[in-house]
Amino acid sequence: MSTSPQMPAQSMGDSWNERMRMIRLRRKKEAFRFRDEFRIVPRWLKVLCVILYLLAVAIGVIVIHVSPESRPSDLRDDVATATVAIVGIITAVGFLVSCFLLMLGYVNRDARRRGMNSALWTLLVLVLSPGSLFIGFIVYFLFREPMPYPCPRCNHLVGPRFNFCPNCKCDLHPSCPNCKREIAETDKFCPYCAQDLLSKGEIGKSLAEEHS
């Protein structure tokens, strides 16, 4: 990250750069595994989805059996086909509704563990989504905060907006002293301009400071 002197006019650009840096950091540090992510959805919500689905199927089947008027006109005398049709429709609708509810539960829990305002985000996703095809979720996945991650030097958990590790003073966003572009903590040479980072770079300097 560039560390040029701050100017008021730059603040918009700076917050945009910060946002992009957060997105890069999240992609670098977090692997998305569906099973692990699904685990944070509250169990009661999963159970509720199953119960609601079974209840809807039961009601649908009973109604089809009890009142012939509820069947489609061409299936009036064919109870078996009408039952299969209603179960199919309920399953399709139930699947979409369940997806929506489970993702809402996911956003609520995920926002909380990332230290974001979980109530506000859940509400936002709820308000945005039904009319516009899950757009709320897309916005959420784009803008959610990265999770705390272990410091590359001492494994102490550090926040995504930290610049230095509070435990060992490790530079968490080192930049090349020559070309000022972002580099990894483990780079020995700058990948952009081949600057030797161990001998006179900032990493080498901070390591030397630590040992003195």
The residues of the shown chain that bind Zn ion, judged by CB under 5 A, are 151, 153-154, 156, 165, 167-168, 170, 176, 178-179, 190, 192-193, 195
Measured between alpha carbons, how far is 208 from 197 in angstroms, rounded to an integer? 13
To Zn ion, the closest distance from the beta carbon of 29 in angstroms equals 15
And the tokens for 210? 């630590």
Which CB, 110 or 171, lies closer to Zn ion?
171
Is 19 or 156 the residue whose CB approaches Zn ion more closely? 156
Residue from 34, 42, 38, 27 nearest 149 by CA:
27
Q: Least distance in Å: CB of 160 to Zn ion?
A: 14
Closer to Zn ion by CB, 56 or 183: give it: 183
* Closer of 71 and 153 to Zn ion (Cβ): 153
Q: How far apart are the first and last CA of the chain?
A: 27
Residue 204 Cβ, how far from Zn ion at the closest point, in Å? 14
CA 64 → CA 10, 56, 79, 89, 166, distances in Å?
66, 12, 7, 13, 66
d(CA 68, CA 66): 7
Work out how close the CB of 20 gets to Zn ion at its nearest, in angstroms, rounded to a whole number. 19
